[in-house]
Amino acid sequence: MIITIGREFGSGGRELGKRLAEALGIAYFDKEIVAEVSKNTSLAYDYVQNIIEKRPIVYYPISIGHSFEDYNNYITKEYYSVHSEQDKVIKEIAAKSNCVIVGRCADYILRDLHPYRIFVYSDMESKIKRCKEKGEIDASLTEKKMIRAIKQIDRQRGEYYEFYTGARWGDKENYDLMINTSNASIKDIALGLAEVIKHANK
Amino acid sequence: MIITIGREFGSGGRELGKRLAEALGIAYFDKEIVAEVSKNTSLAYDYVQNIIEKRPIVYYPISIGHSFEDYNNYITKEYYSVHSEQDKVIKEIAAKSNCVIVGRCADYILRDLHPYRIFVYSDMESKIKRCKEKGEIDASLTEKKMIRAIKQIDRQRGEYYEFYTGARWGDKENYDLMINTSNASIKDIALGLAEVIKHANK
């Protein structure tokens, strides 16, 4: 049983993943993947974290010059090495045991294993509330700036997913179940969702 | 507890609605609504059925003439009288008891009651399989024609929803939970979904 969770920032996807893993008695992976990739590539945790879930940024020179080309080649190479390492780590994890994996296009990477693919979303009001409660966003920001920050993270996740999978992030066709966590207690719904997944014949 | 179900044709939304109502011990409404509207408007069941879940079709005359205008006015008036009667019937049903209502923009009509809004969808292969099993489509049609027929019904439902609510049919923002029934046993998942709904604080 492999469960993958795509999630909008601030929608509580990580909490849902943890609670599902608990309810189903299986492993949960999120930042552990970053740590493993960091170890295997000898790149700093924060650097790997920063690259993961973003599409590659290629800098186009104003005038074509060797230095720009070399720089781009270097960046692109490093980007791909991090991502191919991440692929490897995710596949190893899934091969070892039943688990819940949050983000990282795991639904696509593990498609041959037919994971149960969940997408978690919510309205902006709930996102802000949740981010404030969990301290996931700088509380001194104005609401307008918080909205901009949340939207930017989701835009990056969407671009990354699209770049990586060729499919659209959050499009229902790519998921088995999509859950709106606006005004919902994630603790309360995780148990029911676990029952849905148990019976999904995946 | 009011549950509304939007559903793609052939996705098993009606079966899911019935099973949810059973699991939650509440009433289920679908074609009963057509019968009630038919009774109240003195229009034939099939005629009402045909109008419901379609947006109005207005015929534009090539040259402006009284006869066309009168015809359009007549059609439009009847369309709106069926729909305002349907609104009334749906609101009466929801006021009387906890229930599951399938289709008919009930999510929008009952928005003040904050229903739990489900959308049911599946891939085309599952739709065809389900339609054949349930005899919901002319089995003598070629697969190509079946796909065309299924897509046309969904297009009509989408246009109707959009015309009626101003929102997009099947857009995740308009639902609390979206479930992909491709390769899934609806009987098996209904029990888990009932648990999710029970705990959704709606």
* Yes or no, beta carbons of A188 and B199 under 8 Å apart: yes
A180 → closest Cβ in B121, B177, B185 = B177
Per-residue pLDDT tens digits for A79-106: 888 888 899 999 999 999 999 999 999 9
H-helix or E-strand spanning residue B46: helix B45-51
Taken in order B55, B60, B66, B67, is the CA torsion positive or negative? negative
Query: Domain spanning A2-189: which superfamily?
Result: P-loop containing nucleotide triphosphate hydrolases (3.40.50.300)
DSSP state at residue A10: T
Ramachandran sector of residue A170 (left: φ over 0; alpha: ψ -120 to 50; beta: rest): left
Q: What is the rounded distance in angstroms from the CA atom of residue B117 to the CA atom of residue B19?
A: 16
Which tokens sit at A53? 């879930």
- Per cent of chain B over pLDDT 70 is 89
Per-residue pLDDT tens digits for A143-194: 999 999 999 999 999 998 998 899 999 999 999 999 999 988 899 899 999 9
Q: Which chain A positions have a beta carbon within 8 Å of B186's beta carbon?
A: none
* Yes or no, beta carbons of B200 and A188 under 8 Å apart: yes
B193 → closest Cβ in A176, A184, A196 = A196
Q: How far is B76 from chain A (nearest CA, A)?
A: 35
pLDDT of B71: 62
pLDDT of A82: 86
Q: What is the rounded distance in angstroms from the CA atom of residue A87 to the CA atom of residue A70?
A: 26
* Yes or no, beta carbons of A201 and B192 under 8 Å apart: no
Burial of residue B99 (number of CB atoms within 10 Å: 0-12, 13-18, 19+)? buried
Q: In terms of DSSP bridges, do strands B2-7 and A99-102 run parallel, antiparallel, or are they unpaired?
A: unpaired
Length of chain B: 202
Per-residue pLDDT at B68 exceeds 80? no
Q: What is the rounded distance in angstroms from the CA atom of residue A131 to the CA atom of residue A139?
A: 9
* Yes or no, beta carbons of A176 and B178 under 8 Å apart: no
Q: Is the ipTM of this complex over 0.90?
A: no
Domain at B2-193: CATH architecture: 3-Layer(aba) Sandwich (3.40)
* Yes or no, beta carbons of A197 and B193 under 8 Å apart: no
Q: Which residue has the higher pLDDT, B126 or B200?
A: B126
pLDDT of B72: 62
Please give the backbone phi and psi of residue B112, each rounded to the nearest 5 degrees, phi first.
-70, -20
B196 → closest Cβ in A123, A173, A189 = A189
